[in-house]
Amino acid sequence: MFFKNEKGIAMGMAIIIGLVITVSGIVLWQVSTNDTLQVERDENSTQAFFYAKSGVELAVGLLQDDPDYLAHGEEASFYGNLDEPTYSSTETDDYNIYFEIERDNNDYFIRSTGIVRVGSAQGAQAAANSLGFVINMQQLEESVGMGGGGGGGGQIPPLDMIFSLGDIELTGSSQIVGNTGTNSVAEDSVVLAWSTVINGLLSIGPGGDPATVIDTRNYAGNLPQGTAALPSARSYPMPEFPEFPDLPFQGFMDAGWWPIPPGGHRISETGTYSYINVQNELTIDIGDEDLLIRTESLSVTGSGKIKLNKTGSGRLILYVDNTFNINGSSTINQNGNYNDVIMYYAGSGNPSIDGSTKYVGSIYAVNSNFTVAGSGGVTGHIVTGGTTVNVTGNAEANVRAVYAPNAVLTVSGSSRIRGAVVAQSINVLGNSRIFYDDSLNLEFFQLLDWGSGEAGEPADWRAIGQWQRL
């Protein structure tokens, strides 16, 4: 009996060992199979990722060939096959790249999906992977060698929003209406207080976190309509200030109340004046050629007026070496076209357009601070290399652009700015408003020297754009 029991025990142990070996084998086979499948899935996912990158390459190549392929707000979709490689807007059953391009002002958003297909069935899909890429117009130009540094090789910097290179602060019940941006990623660099409003998209610096960049601790209003990080920090250089021309000397012009010459006070020829003082009315005759006037001092005071008598397509180009003064209820080119008057101001003074004065034209002040105050108004562009620009009181700077990348811009009281803005920092206080207006006539900016315009070394678009995992 003892030996029979031992045989039974041995047989039972053998069965148990056999079962253990069988189960272990099944487990090892399943683990091996799962590992193989996981490796295969990883390989397919990696392949799909590279397909997606290839889709971005195709999209950027298309935009490099035609940077204005899409208008603002438009989008397009394409299907591609790397076996050939081709792409078209027509969907097929075996495409392995799908990419979309959408334009928002000067930014292009690319969304690309790579697909790995297996088996013989049409459309069979093993893995998919997606990538996003953001690139703006200036970066596209740099990627094909059009960038010359600074202002983009003769290209006007983007004027597509209210933009601060640094801080933005709104207090009281002030508002910015339109898309707004900053290069800053610093904590609390955008301050929204009380019942202030940014009515539009707020873009912050690359990699910034809206939760830390935007300070809303004293905020009772609505947050911006959306926030986004810029693909790269923006650069806003000053254009080259022109050399003043040597012009025939014409003496001086004193347009006062007495004596008044026959036909009134008039300037009809290009020339240099030691000074121009206007207390009454000065008419400037302009034909098809630009009329150039250079003066040490330009003063329009009291109820003085400078009026243009245009009989052709020419403009009035003013070169002021030292002093520019406009006050009282005086006007320059009132009710005219702001493209018809351009002033280059080289003085060290700080021009102020205040009282009930009106200036219709564009001004480039080389390094002056600038003030628009009272009920005064500017209709045109303001470009300055100064450190402060103030718009205050009940003033309205109905400008198409305030371009002051070195300046603290302060808009206060119940004053208004309407156009595009570039400043070092922006303060909007009281009941003041800044309205972005994209009806920009950039004729004046096109006259300025933003660089040589010569082709440079192409930049790597893969490095200057912003990649996104979707």
The pTM assigned to this predicted structure is 0.66
Over the Cα atoms of the chain, what is R_g? 33
Across the range 159-184, mean pLDDT stands at 93
> In this model, does residue 465 exceed pLDDT 50?
yes
Number of Cβ within 10 Å of residue 11's Cβ equals 10
* pLDDT digit string, tens, across residues 278-304: 999 999 999 999 999 999 999 999 999
How many degrees, rounded to 5, is the angle at CA 69 between CA 64 and CA 74? 130
Write down the pLDDT at residue 6.
57
* pLDDT digit string, tens, across residues 89-113: 888 877 888 999 999 888 899 999 9
> In this model, does residue 239 exceed pLDDT 60?
yes
Asked if residues 80 and 97 have their Cβ atoms less than 8 Å apart, the reply is: yes
What are the two backbone dihedrals, phi and then psi, of residue 295, each rounded to the nearest 5 degrees? -150, 150
Mean pLDDT of the chain: 84
> In this model, does residue 425 exceed pLDDT 80?
yes
Asked if residues 408 and 391 have their Cβ atoms less than 8 Å apart, the reply is: no
How many degrees, rounded to 5, is the angle at CA 118 between CA 116 and CA 122? 100
* pLDDT digit string, tens, across residues 310-339: 999 999 999 999 999 998 899 999 999 999
Number of Cβ within 10 Å of residue 100's Cβ equals 16
Quick one: what percent of the chain has pLDDT higher than 90?
Answer: 44
Lowest mean pLDDT among 8-22, 125-139, 298-312, 335-349: 8-22
How many degrees, rounded to 5, is the angle at CA 118 between CA 117 and CA 121? 95
Which positions ≥6 away from 39 have C-beta within 8 Å? Answer: none
